[in-house]
Structure 1
Amino acid sequence: MTLTAADVPLKRPTVLVADDEVALTDSIAVWLSDSYRVRTAYDGHEALREFGPSVDIVLLDRHMPGLSGEHVMARLNEMSANPQAALLTATSTDDFRSEVDELGFDAYLTKPISKTELLGVVSDLAAAASESAQH
C-alpha cells in the first residue's frame, strides 16, 4: 500500500500533560499517542519547562507540587501563550469555577478520567486550536 500526502495529517497537535500522579500522566500519554504528539510533566515547574510554541493543548492537574495547575495557567497567560487548556481535578469545579474560568481554561476533567471522556475533550480542544490557528 502506498501512502499519499492525503493519507498523512498535516500536523498532529501537541498535548502537554502535567500531573503529579505518574501512572495517570503516563496512561493519558499512551491514550493520546495514536493521534497526538505528547509531552509529559510531573509538576508545575516541569510543565512550564516543557511548554513551548509547538504545544497546542495543555492538560493541567489542579494540585501539583511547586505550582498548581492554576498557577501554571496564570504563568502561561503572563507569557501571552494561548493554548487550549483543560483542568484535571479530583473535586467538583462548582466551588472554584469562576476563578478558574478567569484563567482561561476551556474544559474540565474530573478524576477518575475515562479514556473515552479524555479523547472526546482533547478532540474538541484540538478542533478549537486548529480553528484559532487558521484565523
Structure 2
Amino acid sequence: MNDDATVLLVDDESELVSLYSAYLEDRYEVRTATDGEEALSVADDSVDVALIDRRMPGMDGDDVLRELRAAETDCRVAMLTAVEPTADIVDMPFDDYRIKPVDEAELVGLVEVLIERASYDERSREFFALASKKAALEIAGETSTAAYETLCDDLESVRADLDNHLDAVGAEAAFSDVA
C-alpha cells in the first residue's frame, strides 16, 4: 500500500463521494469533485488515481477522462459508474472499468491495483487496460461487435510482445554470469 498516494473521486452524487471518501481517507490523501469542471480544477500531477463516474450533468466523465489525458496528467484512471459498458469503451484511455455500487473492499482493492500498475512499464499498463475493457464487455455480454474482436486482437498482440520481451530478458539474465 502506498500511504502517500492521492486519489481523486469524481461523482455527481455527493453522498457516494462522501462514502467512498470515508472508505479511502485513512489510507490515502483524497480529493473530491462533484462535477467535471471541479474535477479538472483539482487534478494535477500529484494525483495518482482518479475514479470517475461517466454520467454527470454538464461535463460527463468521458469528457473528464479525455481532458485528463490531453493535459498529460499522469494518473491511473478507473471509470466507476452505473453505465453498462458497450463497444464505445474500447477507444477510451482508462485503466479499469467498474460498475457501481462497489463495497469498501472492492474500492480499496481497485485503488491498490491501480497504484501498483503505475510502477509498470507502458506496455504492461496497456495490457492490463485492454484486459479490463475485455472483461467489462464480457460481463455486459457485449462480445459480438467488431470493436470487441479488434480489442481481443490488440490484447493478444500486446501479450505476444510482452512474452517476447520477457523471454529476451530471461535469456539475457541466464547468460549474464557467462560474460
Give the total of aligned pairs.
121
CA drift of 1:96 comes to 3.0
The superposition leaves residues 46-99 of structure 1 with CA deviations (integer Å, 9 ceiling, x where unpaired) of 00001012101101100112211110111111111221000011132134321x
8 Å contact from structure 1 (residues 89, 111) kept in 2: yes
CA RMSD of aligned residues (A): 1.7
- Unaligned runs of 5+ residues in structure 2 are 122-179
Q: Which has the higher helix share?
A: 2
Question: Given the alignment, which residue of 17, 23, 26 partners 2:18?
Answer: 26
List, as ranges, runs of 4+ consecutive aligned residues in structure 1 with deviation greater than 3 Å: none
1:116 matched to 2:105? The reply is yes
- Determine what percentage of the aligned residue pairs are the same residue: 39
Corresponding residue for 1:12? 4
Partners of 1:65 and 1:38 in 2: how far apart? 22
The superposition leaves residues 93-132 of structure 1 with CA deviations (integer Å, 9 ceiling, x where unpaired) of 134321xxx2321111211111111111111001112446
8 Å contact from structure 2 (residues 3, 27) kept in 1: no
Change (3 A) 1:15 1:94: same
- Unaligned runs of 5+ residues in structure 1 are 1-8
8 Å contact from structure 2 (residues 78, 94) kept in 1: yes
Partners of 1:38 and 1:130 in 2: how far apart? 20
Q: Aligned runs of 1:54-73 on 2, under 5 Å?
A: 54-73=46-65
Q: Given residue 49 of structure 1, which amino acid in structure 2 is its aligned partner?
A: S
Corresponding residue for 1:125? 114
TM superposition score normalised by structure 1: 0.82
8 Å contact from structure 1 (residues 60, 86) kept in 2: yes
Q: Which has the higher strand share?
A: 1
User: Which structure has the larger Rg over C-alpha atoms?
Assistant: 2
Partners of 1:11 and 1:117 in 2: how far apart? 18
